[in-house]
Amino acid sequence: MTIERLIFGFFLAIAIATSASAASVSGSRQSCIRTAMAAGSAALGNSAQLNRLYERYFAADRIAQLAAGKDWSRYNESQKDAQRERVRKVVVYSLGTTLASYRGSRVQFLGQSGPKVRGVVIAPNGQRSVITWHFVGPCKFVDVSIEGYGSLVGAVGKVSSKR
């Protein structure tokens, strides 16, 4: 898995134009994904806007906890803050800077199972990637996975639990 592929899939899934084709995906989930993608496209190159979108669409604390795994309970407040900041940087800076080349991609929704929505993202060059958006709450993402490449939670990694 390369971070570039994860970055591609993640923001591709969050910030580019979509087209819905699967009736099995709830209208509210489709709307959330479409709205997040449109807002992300409009915010390209504007770190202040990307930070606001990060706050609006990502369950940052939960992502930090999932990425840390069992180490989270051993983290002191400074380590927890460092983990939270790591999540923010991955989403806002790493993912945001590679998005521009993926504008114009299409998303075909495949289905929904509980809080997870699956779709196929078709890039302008024809490349297809299967994406799973994992929601927590009505319109917050706790993870985004690209089949064969990994997930946002996996890309974040952990801070050292040593004190």
pLDDT at 9: 54
Contacts 24+ apart (CB under 8 A), 108-116: 108/19, 108/20, 108/21, 108/22, 109/20, 109/21, 109/22, 109/24, 109/25, 109/30, 110/22, 110/25, 111/22, 111/24, 111/25, 112/24, 112/25, 112/26, 112/29, 115/142
**CA-to-CA dists, residue 159 to 37, 84, 113, angstroms:** 29, 10, 32
Mean local confidence (pLDDT), 38-58: 86
pLDDT tens figures, 49-97: 989 999 999 999 999 999 999 999 999 999 999 999 999 998 888 765 5
The pLDDT of residue 43 is above 90: no
Q: How far apart are CA 101 and CA 16, in angstroms?
A: 10
The per-residue pLDDT for 100 is 46
- 104 phi-psi bin (left φ>0, alpha ψ -120 to 50, beta other): left
CA atoms within 13 A on the CB side of 77: 0
pLDDT in tens, 114-135: 999 999 878 778 888 888 999 9
Dist CA 3 CA 11 (whole Å): 12
- What are the structure tokens assigned to 150, written together? 């990994």
- CATH 1.10.150 correct for 3-155: no
Backbone angles phi, psi at 112, to 5 degrees: -135, 140
